[in-house]
A and B are shown apart, each in its own frame.
Chain A
Amino acid sequence: MGAGSMNITSENKTNAHVAVFEFEGRPAAPIKREVKISVPGKIAIAIVLFWVAMCFVGPLVAPYREADIVADQTFAPAGESCSPFRKGVCSFHLLGTDYLGRDVFSRVLYGSRTTMGISVAATLLAYVIGVTFGITAAIRGPKLDMVLSRINDVFISIPSIMLGLVVIAAVGTSIPILIVTAGAIYSTTVFRLSRAFAMDVMVTDFVEAARARGEGLWWMLYREILPNIVMPLATDFGIRLIYIVLFIASLSFLGLGVQPPVADWGGLVRENIQGIAYASWAPIAPALAISSLTISINLIVDEMSAKSGGKLAKSLLK
């Protein structure tokens, strides 16, 4: 005999007010999950918050103005830089100067606003377009799915830079146009992704229940399906953001993106690329900015999915 010490009748008494739960209500109450953020998660959040803050206060903190050529020495190393032509004219540059003698540190701070503004806006736009059409294609029967998917195939098959060039060559360049172009181009991959995820969710019983209730497209999209595919999409969001940063940088390099002298990180790397030979900070600093931002966003996404992904561990525990 095992230690049958538990007295079932006494258990019944304690549960008298919910008589039906005898032998069912175990474990009695779910333990409220405490949200614990890991150390990498905390660092990542700090970095992202820093860059977001720089979007707003960057120009106030920056020691020099964005477009000012402040030193005679190009690709000056970090620290005090003295003019080779004018005796005694020296200025301090935290991260040195760029190929025209502008302050790299100031330009990176200024660039955070353009880069994050454009890429976040474009990524959000790509998601709004891609997710809406992607889930719609999954919901609204095979015919609409076929039409939308084939249209999407057409756009996805055109190289993104080529498409961007054509659009910008046709309508000219400005920041809103860059956002719309990048958003539209990258919505094609988001479309595919969200359509595939939504297809999986579509066959579940709760979607069927919603259909039997006669729910409209909007509710199906944003209340039934999207919450269930938001985690994998969020993972993709981080990566998509990087692609868009690089896309904008490529356009800037070709002279069709952000117009000089306005700084954006991708453009800063491109314009200072020769500086690598002089061990200059000019191409490194914006590259570090891009990677710190994107890695941090990915870490945050990982952190979020690890928290909700406890589900997997939970299902194994059952």
Chain B
Amino acid sequence: MSRERNILLEIDHLRIDAATDNGKGVPIVKDISFTVERGNVVALIGESGSGKTTIGLSTLGYTKPGLHVAGGHVRLEGEDILRMDPVSLRKLRGRRVAYLAQSAAATFNPAIKIGKQVKESAVLHGVLTRDEANERAGKLYRALELPEPDRIGNRYPHQVSGGQLQRVMAAMALLGKPDLLVLDEPTTALDVTTQIEVLQAFKKVIKEEKAAAIYISHDLSVVAQIANYVIVVYAGEIMEMGTVEQIINNPKHEYTRRLMCAVRPPPRADMGNATSDDHMRDVPALQTRKIVAGYGKKADGSLAVEVLSDIDITVEHGHAVGIIGESGCGKSTLARVVAGLTPSRSGQTLLDGVELPRALNERHRGDLRKVQLISQMADTALNPKQRIDEILGRPVELFLGLKGSEKRRKVMELLKLVELPVEFAGRYPEELSGGQKQRINLARGLAADPEVLLCDEVISSLDSIVGDNIIRLLKGLRKKIGVSFVFISHDLSTVASFADEIVVLYAGRVAEKGPVSKVLSPPSHPYTRLLIASVPQMRIGWIEEVMESRTAQAGIARVVTFSKEGCPFFVRCPLGIPNTCDKVVPPERHCGNNHFLYCHRKISFLKEDASERVKVKKSDRIRMA
């Protein structure tokens, strides 16, 4: 009996169809049944397009335009939500069931202060009075570990960081004490370091509030940290469901195993492919020397914001250099400087040993051909009004001078190269899926027969399975054609498995650079260590472990700040030396094999500290120089 009463939400043979032009329904959710008990977090997991969000939204009695419920029931405490009248639905939404969307930045009204937006729904529904709402909001801000909990409500959305805004949104959802919380990919758009902090806060607050939650995600390693039950969804059907231990430790269904394989393992030194020197030449393919770049201009002609300072990187022919760092560290700016889109203030970019002009319009077409930038968002990188054959044919025509049938043949070759059917030539970008668009984006870069490909977060917006396919493709291309890669990503595992060398960028400065095997075995620079420690591992209880470790505690919950003096990482560094690190720019330390560290600590100290950390993982011993 007591078990019966504990059931909060019951989804019973739910079917949702999409209406098509010919009037026939295409099933999106096919006969799904599961229950959510009070105090439990149920994770819906699957790749994009599997119907996770549609199921999640049905608990609010909502379907996206074009979709309709074809059958089944969604019962909240026995009451069928799908058959409620609009007035009861309005009372239900935000009060008993709250929804947390993926992008907090897009959810908040930029013109209204955070606090007002947080309180609006609860006060409007009459759940709380204005004073009660104020009090409870303050409590939730504190529980979610937001900075300045008493004053953060007076800020505007743009004045807090992305991770903080995500937590503020959680406060908004929880304010009305909802019975059920639906979280739709709440950490997907965040950096690894921010993700930990948000996950930890969510976990804590869900426990404290004794709320039930549906957590929608495509990332099993994230789900492993927060959920009690896991439901694996594929194409609108349940593939497998069970407790988190069952699914993580003993997956039964083949699809679940595939999802597990696609979760990137924690980055290690030995997961990369051996450095291939087949395509090596005397001169490196790409070299930057003391690049300084930024945005804006002050009265005295200097940069208003210096995003990159003194960047030296070298990319050998046929090599891949991974550039890692949190968002806002200047990774994309570096790619833009090399491509000429953002002219550098000073410093040189050398291609095959020849200096390139800084600005785009001074570069020769031949130089433009050799360096191709592949941008992050395939959705916006392809002109929606051009067909694929035009998108790919244009660079072929422009750079290689091919016309007519030769051009068509080259376009077909490119499509085959990125493993797409040749019929795609006649389609428009909007007729392609995200992964397919990214392949076209890649093919356009390759159409110019480039020597250096600058890949800016090319797989970050994709599913792990689709992303893996793209990585496999890139590896093949590298072997086949000998293109050099600058591979920008905040996903360390991908970089570790793809790159030969790694450059760790923090606040526009190189923190560490060198061969993957040297940088990651074990990571010695404090920032590299923080990044590696933050990559979620598919292990239950991982997040608690990380939160206990000193590295993470010191490093999370901070935004990247640029400083002109000293080491920019000082404010987050657990090993910082006051009066040295914050005053003097860190020296370059060479540890052999082209492995460079930029830190005031001696290499021997860092190595020792790192290896000790591995031995006594949970040590809270404070060791300061």
Contacts and interface: CB of A to CB of B under 8 A. Distances in A.
A33 B469 CA distance: 30
Interface in B350-369: 360-361, 363, 365, 368
16 contacts: A1-B240, A3-B238, A9-B254, A36-B21, A205-B375, A208-B375, A212-B368, A212-B373, A213-B368, A213-B448, A214-B360, A313-B65, A313-B66, A316-B66, A317-B18, A317-B65
Interface stretch (B401-409, B426-434, B585-593, B602-610): B426-434
Interface string A158-201: 00000000000000000000000000000000000000000000
A86 interface: no
Q: 10 closest pairs, A vs B, by CB?
A: A2-B238, A227-B385, A205-B381, A30-B431, A206-B383, A205-B380, A317-B66, A205-B375, A214-B368, A316-B65
A238 B64 CA distance: 33
Nearest to A23: B465
A206 B237 contact: no
B239 A31 contact: no
A30 B427 contact: yes
Contacts of A316: 64-66
A26 B34 CA distance: 25
B255 A8 contact: yes
Interface of A: 1-6, 8-9, 18, 20, 23-27, 30-31, 33-34, 36, 204-206, 208-215, 223-224, 227-228, 311, 313-314, 316-317
A228 to B, nearest CB: 6
B258 interface: yes
A213 B341 contact: no
B239 A4 contact: yes
A31 B386 contact: no
B126 interface: no
Given A8-B254, A23-B47, A314-B430, A3 B384 contact: no
Interface stretch (B25-33, B79-87, B109-117, B144-152): B25-33
Interface residues of B, number: 65
B9 interface: no
Nearest to A214: B368
Given A1-B241, A213-B395, A214-B365, 11 more contacts: A2-B239, A2-B241, A6-B234, A20-B469, A24-B465, A36-B21, A209-B373, A214-B361, A228-B385, A311-B384, A316-B64
B253 interface: yes
Interface of B: 18, 20-21, 26, 30-34, 47, 49, 64-67, 234-235, 237-241, 253-255, 258, 339-341, 360-361, 363, 365, 368, 372-373, 375-377, 380-386, 394-395, 398-399, 419, 421, 427, 430-431, 433, 435-436, 444, 448, 465-466, 469, 472-473
A165 to B, nearest CB: 41
A209 B431 contact: no
B18 A3 contact: no
Contact of A211 (B67, B360, B473): B360
Nearest to B376: A205
Contacts of B380: 204-206
Given A3-B237, A317-B18, A209 B32 contact: no
Contacts of B360: 211-212, 214
B67 A317 contact: yes
Given A2-B33, A4-B239, A18 B421 contact: yes
B433 A4 contact: no
A212 B469 CA distance: 27
A258 B21 CA distance: 49
Contact of B398 (A5, A26, A204, A213): A213
A231 to B, nearest CB: 10
Contacts of A205: 375-377, 380-381
Contact of A228 (B26, B67, B383, B448): B383
A3 B375 contact: no
B533 to A, nearest CB: 31
Given A8-B255, A317-B18, A26 B381 contact: no
Nearest to A18: B421
A216 to B, nearest CB: 10
Contacts of B469: 20, 24
A23 B258 contact: yes
A249 to B, nearest CB: 36
A31 B67 CA distance: 17
A223 to B, nearest CB: 7
B237 A6 contact: yes
